[in-house]
Amino acid sequence: MTTVRAWGVALSAATAATLVLSGCGTTRVPQPTAHATAHGVTLTVTLLPASNGRRELQATFRPQQPGFHIYSIDLPAHGIDGLGIPTRLSVQGSLTAVAKPTANLATRLLRPAGLQSEIPVYPNGSVTFSLPVRQTSGRQADVIVSYGACSENTCLIPVKHKVIHLNLNY
């Protein structure tokens, strides 16, 4: 992670990029952000500035209950032996993906009780995905997500092709 030092305080590059210095004060420039909650998971998507005219969409999946994990983005389309739903993140409208999404955490293999299959999942709790994007003309984008959340004992109803509207008028 890139850090920037301002007034002796270390800031992440994303946080530093949202600050505009004016005289002796600072003004926080708001970033396009949207929130959604479905089937036990709260999702926050934020469009951050990046370099070379590109931007970065960050999507944080946060299970609402402790002990729940999100399935891997690398899980096959139909799961493993029919188990699990892959996490998917895409955009349409005024945003175009320029690379594949990546996660901030490594996966681990989970073997459900009584089964031989191992399923790649992220550690319990929040996971954030980054998707490099290019903004085209227009002020509205849609973020499309699919995901599932499970604990060691139960799975929540999966979410498929949920559309989150992101207003780019900032």
Topology at the third CATH level for domain 31-167: Immunoglobulin-like (2.60.40)
Give the separation between CA 124 and CA 65, rounded to whole angstroms.
10
Q: How far is residue 116's CA from residue 158's CA, in Å, rounded to a whole number?
A: 22
Instruction: Return the bridge partners of 60, or none.
Output: 44, 128
Predicted confidence (pLDDT) at residue 2 exceeds the cutoff of 50: no
Q: What is the pTM of this model?
A: 0.80
Answer whether 123's CB lies under 8 Å from 69's CB.
yes
pLDDT of residue 137: 83
Lowest average pLDDT, out of 4-13, 24-33, 42-51, 69-78, goes to 4-13
SS3 of residue 119 by DSSP: strand
Structural domain boundaries in the chain? 1-30, 31-167
The Cα–Cα gap between 66 and 126 comes to 10
Please give the Cα distance from 70 to 120 (Å, whole number): 9
pLDDT digit string, tens, across residues 75-109: 999 988 888 999 999 999 999 999 999 999 999 99
